[in-house]
Amino acid sequence: MHDIRAIRDNPAAFDAALSRRGTAPMSSEVLALDEARRAAIHAAETAQADQKRAAKDVGAAKASGDEAEFERLRALVGEKKAEVGAMQDRAKELDTQLTDLLMGVPNLPFDDVPDGADEADNVEAKRWGEPRAFDFTPKEHYEIAGVMPGMDFETAAKLSGARFMVLHHGVARIHRALAQFMLDTHVDTNGLTETWTPVLVRPEMMYGTGQLPKFGEDSYETTNGWWLVPTAEVTLTNIVNGETVEADSLPRRYVAHTQCFRSEAGSAGRDTAGMLRQHQFEKVEMVSITRPEDSRAEHDRMTACAEGILEALGLPYRTVVLCTGDMGFGARRTHDIEVWLPGQNAYREISSVSVCGDFQARRMNARYKEAGGKPDFVHTLNGSGLAVGRCLIAVLENGQQADGSVDLPGALHPYLGGKTRLSAEGTLA
């Protein structure tokens, strides 16, 4: 959420930043509502002061024995009390309207974010690894002979419908090994705090990180009003919801492996083959809570943590800076990491790492305090480290052999009991 004082101080800059994101200027609407809210608050406070003065006069009239004046003033106090209540209700109503309006306004991009309308305008910042030269036409993951026994689309459809997956045998174990490898690397090498969190959350937590109110159709709500998390960003970031933490406890760096759930609203017809785009999937998520002055450096650090996973697995990738028109709602700057998928002959997103500034912190009322100083809002960051299913796809496609087997990255061998390949029959060998 935005700082209303910053909008008052420089409405033109606010509108210009929104325009870079393709959002219509909103400062006039915001400030008109803010002015009405402040006027209502002032009127309520003035009426309350009048009520207090009249209440004192009631006491004086009673003490003087002037019964007529006492009754008149007592009636006046009653009228003032009702008037104050109505004015306070109006001020509260306008405050809610302003909050609701600001809740739907996206974050403002940093000045160095490239301008653009969509993914075609993203800017490549880094490329690592050379795509393998195959002496045969590489297949997509679900077409590889050794993978086919381990990916059960028919049973998944029977159990749950489209865009779900059942994994068996060696493929299921590779999937599990990838998640464990990611967690161990982030904890032991990158210094993140391993965390286990719920996948059902209260709606306030979804508001805190920006999934609500605007993007409710992208997630699943239960009948009792809880929400299934679309990412552990929701739970990890909200650990500091409503808290004022000590500055010397920052940065806080969390990592969690969770199930994630997305309705994929608006993606009909996209990536329907295989397991690239699922309603239920697993992700290893990173979240950092920092001082404001440290968040940009932390963004680069988190990006390097995600890149390091791919490098350890020997998977070629590229990192792009998202343009203003392609960034997520809560981000001020986002780095997308795209892994090479030879079956598609394309780079595909496997991680997004975003710095949000104080945007989420204001929604959560999450602050920090320096010794002897005043509380201020923390900065929050989040990023995939990585999407486990997409990483599985990349491992299978990049390691595939002409006979339908798959050579597996050396980093996974200890997690597979020393096994080094998926045979053409679908067993680990």
Active site residues: 262, 277, 349, 352, 390
Residues sharing a CB contact under 8 Å with residue 285, sequence separation 6 or more, in sequence order: 231, 232, 233, 236, 255, 256, 257, 258, 382, 383, 384, 385
Nearest CA to 354 among 331, 325, 386?
A: 331
Q: Distance from CA of residue 49 to its chain's centroid?
A: 45
d(CA 375, CA 427): 57
Q: Would you list which residues are annotated within the binding site for L-serine? A: 231-233, 285, 384
The tokens for 427 are 């067993």
The Cα–Cα gap between 341 and 11 comes to: 45
Structure tokens at 193: 């705090």
Of residues 360, 340, 379, 386, the one with CA closest to residue 231: 386
Q: Could you tell me the two tokens for 251?
A: 């940065």
How many angstroms separate the CA atoms of 429 and 419, rounded?
5
What is the enclosing helix (H) or strand (E) of 88? Answer: helix 67-103
C-alpha–C-alpha distance, residues 186 and 173, integer Å = 20
For residue 322, the 8-state DSSP code is: P
Report the relative pairing of strands 252-261 and 193-194 from DSSP bridges. Answer: parallel
Helix (H, G, I), strand (E, B) or coil at 359: helix
R_g of the chain computed on alpha carbons = 28
DSSP result, 155-175: HHHHHT-SS--EE-HHHHHHH
In sequence order, what are the beta bridge partners of 254?
Answer: 193, 287
Residue 335 pairs in a beta bridge with: 321, 353
Q: How far apart are the C-alpha atoms of 97 and 25, rounded to whole Å? A: 18
